[in-house]
Structures are given as structure tokens and as C-alpha cells.
Amino acid sequence: MNPKTDSQHEFSSEYLQLLVAITGATLLLVFGFERLFSHQRFTPDVFIPFPWIVAAGQTIDDGLQMFSGKLPTIMSMSHRLALLADMLVVFVLGPTLLLMSWRKMRLEKEQKGRSSIRGLWTLLFVVGGVASFSVVIPAIPIAIIQRSVATSLFHAQAVQTNKDYMINDINFIALYAHQHKILPKSMGGGEGSYLGFSASRELVSTENGEYIVSPSPNQCAIKATSKLYPSAAISVVVNEAGNLREWTYTGPFE
């Protein structure tokens, strides 16, 4: 058996016709089921670049709708069909035509086949390359930007978590400060004054931050500095009624 002779039929025209037929049949089946279970009027959408991003956005939107107690938005049949067609072109037809025509051109070059056939496979190679690389090339900077955005979002979430924990620590200090104010002096309190209040070591130094308490007769000022982000700080005042007022945030907490 001659391997070179057998390889002439490795990618026959029947194979290409079968590929196109299967793709078309898939689209027709989707269209048929949509027409069977939906009475929407079919109006094909234009080509949608990066259909997986559109699908991800739709999933996020559905999640937000359900979280808000609303019914998720149903994507129109034409929109879903357009997304499916784009996915088939990008991930099935494009790479298949590219690799198949590239292999066929190599065989034709080795066997010195007819130029008309070689031109057909060259055209298919170009079409497959355009369909494939039109998505691959833009996807590279998008992946870089997405990574940068994800890192920035992770940092912002970490800063917000540290801020929330420090606010919780401040609430505990304010609670103890107000207890000191309302207690009589016979019980170690301030008898209507914040003077004399001193927070314990566990309150003024936690894994979240350092806290400086400055009591006066009618209010108690608290200055908090983050241990994770030294430039981040919170300033607040416990008023006469024990409420936290005059919140001020600096650094990453702004």
C-alpha cells in the first residue's frame, strides 16, 4: 500500500460537503425547535464577535435579575441562533478549513497537482485563517486586560474587607467607651464623661489595624490605621449619645 497515494483522499470534497451539511442541519434543527416552541418572529442577527462574552454577560444579567426577585430575561430566538452560528464558524468551520486546506496544499505541492485545485484549497485556507485568527488575535489583548481587571477587582475586594473589619472593631471600641461614660465612678465609669476611658490591648491592636482612642468629656475620638495598608486610615467620633459620627476615610479607604 502506498501511503502517499492513500493520502490523496485524506480530505476529499465529500468530507467538506459533509461538514457543511452537518453545520447547516444543526442550524436548521435549532431554528425548527425554536419555531415549534416559540411564536416569535425570526429576524436573523448580524455576526456577533466573541459570542462567549455575550453568553457570559447574559448569564450574569440573569443572575442579577433573579437576585433582585425578577424573572430572568429570555434571549430572543434570533439572538441565540446568531450566537450558535458564530460559535460554529469560529470553533468548528474556521479551524477545520484552515487545517484541512493547509494539509491539502502540502499534498498538492508534493504531488504537483492541478493549479485550479490548488487555488481552491488556497482560498479555503484564507477563509479558514480569517475566521480563526479574527478571534484569536483580538483575544490576546482582551485576556491581558481581563487579567488586569481581575487583579484590580481582587485588590479592591481585599481593601473593602479590611475596611469592614476595622469598622467592626471601631464599633466595639465605641460600645465600651459609651459603657464607661454611663457607668458611675463607683463602678469604674466616667459618670457622664468619656474621660478616663482606656481601651484594652485586644481592642486597640487587632489583626486588622491599630486604634488610638482620645477621650474628652463629651466625645471620644478614634483614629484607626490599617495594618495591611498603612496609608489607609479611618477617623471617627463617638458623640455624647454613643453614636458614631464624622466618619473620615483616607488612602485606599476613600
What's the angle, vertex CA 116, arms to CA 110 and CA 119, rounded to 5? 75
Over the stretch 76-105, which tens digit does the pLDDT of each residue have? 666 666 777 777 777 777 777 777 777 777
> Model confidence over 123-170: pLDDT tens digits?
777 777 777 777 777 767 777 877 787 788 888 899 999 999 999 999
**Are 27 and 104 in the same domain?**
yes
Q: Would 93 be classed as within a structural domain?
A: yes
**Cell representation of residue 3:** 501511503
Q: Which residue would you say has higher pLDDT here, 147 or 108?
A: 147
pLDDT for position 129: 76
Residue 57, in any domain of the structure = yes
- Among residues 81, 113, 145, the one where a domain terminates is 113
Confirm whether 29 is domain-assigned: yes
Give SS3 for 230.
Answer: coil
Per the structure, how many domains does the chain have?
Answer: 2
150 domain-assigned = no
- Same structural domain for residues 10 and 63? yes
Residue 204 domain-assigned?
Answer: yes
pLDDT value of residue 9: 47
Full residue range of the structural domain in which residue 57 is found? 3-113
In a domain, 162, yes or no: yes
Q: Are residues 108 and 9 in the same domain?
A: yes
Asked whether residue 142 is domain-assigned, the answer is no
Distance between CA 221 and CA 233 in Å, rounded? Answer: 13
> How confident is the prediction for the chain on average, in pLDDT?
77
Give pLDDT tens digits for 187-225.
Answer: 888 889 999 998 888 889 999 999 999 999 999 999 999
Determine, yes or no, domain membership for 246: yes
